Amino acid sequence: MKDKAIVKGSSGTKKWSWILKDKMFKIKIADLLNETWRQDEIAFEHKFSDQLPNLDDQGVAWNFTIQSLDNTSLLGTLTDVSACFHETCDSCWSSFLRSVYVPSYTARFIFEDEVKKKEAPESEEVLLFIDSKAETINIEDMVAQSILLNDPFVKRCDACTKRLASVDDEDDLDEFESKGNVTFS
């Protein structure tokens, strides 16, 4: 996917430039499955996903470690996942940039037919699938899950967060006062 961006030239003139958003999350894993306990590490930067709207122009960055458990499964670990999102404060409605940092997130990759044979469907372990034909894994869902699980229910800018932190629980806040005619007794 390409996005347009305005780039100012040295003379101050505006010109259009195309930014290529990297959305490739596939990793070849054939050699890992052939050797048990083998491990590889990869660093990713400037990745974009349709599952993560409102990303800033830096995208998502993380380190990925993948380890072969046996000839049918791999253990993948994301570390130092970082991203920034353009958000609107739920309290004051101003725009702000929200930073996300996930220290670690782990999932296991297996062949889909192995799940039907061995794995319990009620397992709480995060399971993702290996593409047996292409001998690849796609870690886009894993990256998106790690970030979305750390998404706050209520998004507030720094000013509103500080304001709410400085108010005692017993003090009344205007935003929590009822404006309706309903009374509870």
Q: What is the pLDDT of residues 21-58, one digit of tens each?
A: 656 899 998 888 888 888 999 999 999 999 999 999 99
Which pLDDT band holds residue 95 (cuts at 50, 70, 90)?
very high
**For residue 129, how far is the Cα from the chain centroid?**
18
Q: Cα separation of 49 and 123, whole Å?
A: 27
| pTM, two decimal places | 0.73
| Rounded percentage of the chain residues whose pLDDT exceeds 70 | 72
Written as six digits, the tokens of 7 are: 């780039």
Question: From residue 8, how far is each of 59, 184, 185 by CA, in Å?
Answer: 21, 59, 62
Structure letter (DSSP) for residue 22 = B
Q: At residue 119, does pLDDT exceed 60?
A: no
Q: Domain-by-domain residue ranges, the chain?
A: 22-166
Q: At residue 97, does pLDDT exceed 60?
A: yes
3 state DSSP class of 48? coil
